[in-house]
Amino acid sequence: MKLIEHLVAGKAWRGKSERTADIINPALGKSIGKVRLATKEDVDAVLEVARKAQPKWAATPPAKRAAVMFAFRDLLNKHMDELAQTLSEEHGKTIPDAKGEIARGIEVIEFACGIPHLLKGEFSEQVASQIDSFSIRQPVGVVAGITPFNFPAMVPLWMYPIALACGNAFVLKPSERDPSVPVRVGQLLQEAGLPEGVFSVVNGDKEAVDALLDSPHVDAVSFVGSTAIGHYIYSRGTAAGKRVQALCGAKNHLIVLPDADMDKAVDALIGSAFGSAGERCMAISVAVPVGEDTADRLVAALKPRIEALKVAACSDPNSDMGPVISRQSLDRILSYIDQGLEKGAKLIVDGRSVKVSGHEDGYFIGGCLFDRVTTDMSIYKEEIFGPVLAVVRAKDYEEALQMVNDHEYGNGTAIFTRDGDAARDFTMRVKIGMVGVNVPIPVPVAYFSFGGWKRSLFGDHSIHGMEGVRFNTRLKTITTRWPSGIKEGAVFNFHSGH
Ligand code: NAD
């Protein structure tokens, strides 16, 4: 049985805590190891190391900092298979899906490789007589990252390649449910040549998070996770004077207009609602067909596709969908299905009876499809975070748009149509951070920025891309005037020596 410790200066560090949590393989429903849970004193000790290491790293030329990122990228590519295997064992997602998330994380490292260019400031000469002005971006200091279970590789990599490239030290507190990959990736970062102490991983739960939020040695906090915890982190972190970005929960709608390519819309829904067992903040959990005929065609096409999904452990190469993360998660999803039935929604595909042979204790559930869902139901209002797709029928386009805009979450949405005018109107008027047109999961590439609106993001900055550079730096504007001096009466020719 493995025991995952913290990672400080590239080495396992035990700290003083006696507390640990089980790491569960969700496909087996049994513990495969333990992770150390830090105390406040442990967190303070790690922060002290980060605080001491940061000034020298900030003074390192950006091109040298970028060189570490180039090496880091190569190491992640080299270790892709090993990382994906560990990730799938602890998370449950399929191996191709695990590789996909690592690849998306690597793209952020590639963006961070361009940091010398990205940090270039602005300069204006002669803003007043003899006066020039320029602005530069300097690191904020020590940045803490608190990340969710559902992307143990990608979400930390949304944060620290840019934070580090900007000259900050970074302390990562990954999810305690699948901590092995974040720690292993941290070792590879050290191997890439990062100076000791600039990056650490501290494992833990609420106690560790609270210690990060309260410490005067943390200047900024990046959080990704659920809305309840994100709101708490934003409130407590900003009250302590820190810069906080908190990316939170979602309920993403996909609108299908009557003229949409139905095959494409169905493909999109299958991948985005059931991939990774629906445990993605950009999963589509609500389909909104416009008009009864569109709805009937959509439900008829979805039903056989969902029934055909292969639910299996990541060890099965034909698996479309693995287990959900925990027994508690499975129970929560089952309870939502009961609530939907009680309120009169029609369960068209019931995945509750799915069994995976050899994995009887695993947290498996098959894909579920509800039709005739209405906006007052909990299965519509709340994030289920499982493989449950709700169909809410809209009478027309305006009703569909209004539905998306009225929802408390504002992470992602998509529209499927062949009509450019309808698509344009949607992209302009919808109150959502990331919008797709005939694209199911509109996750921005690394050089754009990722982030929702409304209760899907607290704080001002989205993550990665230029927003990431802004979040991880403070702007300084300098105004200069130089008195006349040496140039008056000075001799500029070379001294002849005679
Ligand atoms: P979570 O909120 O339970 O946990 C996230 C982090 O917060 C973990 O590191 C956890 O240890 C910590 N935490 C948990 N409870 C805490 C508490 N009481 N006090 C302080 N810290 C606490 O989220 P999760 O279940 O790991 O992840 C799923 C959620 O993340 C979903 O809601 C999903 O939508 C969201 N998510 C959002 C995005 C996005 O970009 N918007 C991306 C991925 C996941």
ipTM at complex level: 0.98
Q: Rounded mean pLDDT of 7-36?
A: 97
Which residue lies with its CA nearest to atom 38 of ligand 1?
A: 281
Average pLDDT, the chain: 96
Domain span including residue 299: 252-437
Give ∠ CA 388-247-403 in degrees, rounded to 5. 50
Residues 15-34 have a mean pLDDT of 97
210 falls within a domain: yes
Residue located nearest, by CA, to atom 18 of ligand 1: 206
Q: Ligand 1: which residue has its CA nearest to atom 10?
A: 175
With a cut of 70, say whether residue 496 has pLDDT above it: no
Say if ligand 1 is within 6 A of residue 224 CB. yes
Q: Are residues 232 and 340 in the same domain?
A: no
Bridge partner residues of 416 (DSSP): 256
Q: Which atom of ligand 1 is nearest to the CA of 385?
A: 31
- Asked if the structure places residue 490 within a domain, the reply is no
Q: Does ligand 1 come within 6 angstroms of the Cβ of 149?
A: yes
The answer on pLDDT for 493 being more than 80 is: no
In the three-class reduction of DSSP (H, G, I as helix; E, B as strand; rest coil), residue 38 is classed as: coil
pLDDT digits (tens, 9 = 90+) for 73-109: 999 999 999 999 999 999 999 999 999 999 999 999 9
Ligand 1 pocket member 147 (CB < 6 A): yes
- Same-domain status, 317 and 209: no
Give buried/exposed letters for 172-207 (b at 16+ CB in 10 A, else e).
bbbbbbbbbbbbbbbbbbbebebbebbbbbbbbeee
With a cut of 80, say whether residue 25 has pLDDT above it: yes
**385 and 473 assigned to the same domain:** no
- Do residues 242 and 375 share a domain? no
What local confidence, expressed as pLDDT, does residue 104 receive? 98
Q: What share of the chain has pLDDT > 70, as a percent? A: 98
By CB atoms closer than 10 A (0-12, 13-18, 19+), residue 44 is: middle
For residue 225, how far is its CA from the centre of ligand 1 (angstroms)? 3
Backbone region of residue 19 per phi and psi (left: phi > 0; alpha: psi in -120 to 50; beta: other values): beta
Please report the pLDDT score of residue 22 as a whole number: 98
Q: Which helix (H) or strand (E) holds 469?
A: helix 465-471
Same domain for 221 and 335: no
437: CA distance to ligand 1 center in Å? Answer: 28
Q: What is the pLDDT of residue 216?
A: 97
**From 113, 166, 248, 281, the catalytic residue:** 281
Instruction: Examine residue 257 and state whether it is found in any structural domain, yes or no.
Output: yes
**pLDDT for res 441:** 84
Helices (H), 15-79: 40-58, 62-78
Å from CA of 150 to ligand 1 middle: 9
Q: Residue 50 is part of a domain; what is its CATH number?
A: 3.40.605.10
CA of 118 to the centre of ligand 1 (A): 30
Please give the Cα distance from 60 to 69 (Å, whole number): 14
Q: What average pLDDT does this structure show over 187-197?
A: 98
348: CA distance to ligand 1 center in Å? 30
Q: Which of 108, 154, 209, 333 to mutate to test the pocket of ligand 1 (most atoms within 8 A of CB)?
A: 209
State whether 239 and 295 are in the same domain.
no
What pLDDT, on the 0 to 100 scale, is given for residue 437? Answer: 98
Closest ligand 1 atom to 173 CA:
9
Q: Note whether 241 and 266 are same-domain residues.
A: no
pLDDT for 485: 74
User: Best substitution site from 229, 325, 332, 453 to test ligand 1's pocket, by max atoms within 8 Å of Cβ?
Assistant: 229
Mean pLDDT of 169-185: 98
pLDDT at 488 over 80: no
Residue 264 has phi, psi (to 5 degrees) of -65, -40
In whole angstroms, give the CA distance from residue 32 to residue 184.
16
Mean pLDDT of 456-462: 96
Is 324 found in the same domain as 278? Answer: yes
Ligand 1 nearest atom to the CA of residue 227, by list position: 32
Q: Is the CB of 430 under 6 A from ligand 1?
A: no
Claim to verify: residue 244 and residue 257 sit in the same structural domain: no
Q: Which atom of ligand 1 is nearest to the CA of 205?
A: 11
Are residues 34 and 163 part of one domain? yes
CA gyration radius, the chain? 25
Q: Looking at the 3D structure of the chain, how many domains does it have? A: 2
**Residue 492 banded pLDDT, cuts 50, 70, 90:** low
Please give the distance, rounded to the nearest whole angstrom, from the Cα atom of residue 249 to the centre of ligand 1. 8
The reply to whether 228 falls in a domain is: yes
Whether 443 lines ligand 1, by a CB cut-off of 6 Å, is no
**pLDDT for residue 497 is more than 60:** no
CA-to-CA distance for 427 and 95, rounded, in angstroms? 34
pLDDT at 489: 67
Q: What is the pLDDT of residue 487?
A: 74
Is the domain of 84 the same as that of 44? yes
Question: Looking at the domain assignment, is residue 144 inside a domain?
Answer: yes
Is 111 inside any structural domain?
Answer: yes
Q: What is the pLDDT of residue 185?
A: 98
Residue with structure tokens 């499809």?
369
Ligand 1 mean position, distance from CA 166 (Å):
25
Residue 498's pLDDT band (boundaries 50, 70, 90)?
A: low
Tokens 């001096």 identify what position? 485
Q: pLDDT tens digit string along 230-281?
A: 999 999 999 999 999 999 999 999 999 999 999 999 999 999 999 999 999 9
> What pTM does this model have?
0.96
189, part of any domain: yes
Q: Is residue 448 part of a domain?
A: no
Active site residue 281: yes
Whether 212 and 260 share a structural domain: no
CB of 282 sitting under 6 A from ligand 1: no
Is 495 a residue whose pLDDT tops 70? no
Q: Is 456 in the pocket of ligand 1 (CB under 6 A)?
A: yes
Nearest 5°: phi and psi at 291?
A: 95, 145
Task: Look up the CATH number of the domain holding residue 418.
Answer: 3.40.309.10
What per-residue confidence (pLDDT) applies to 384? 98
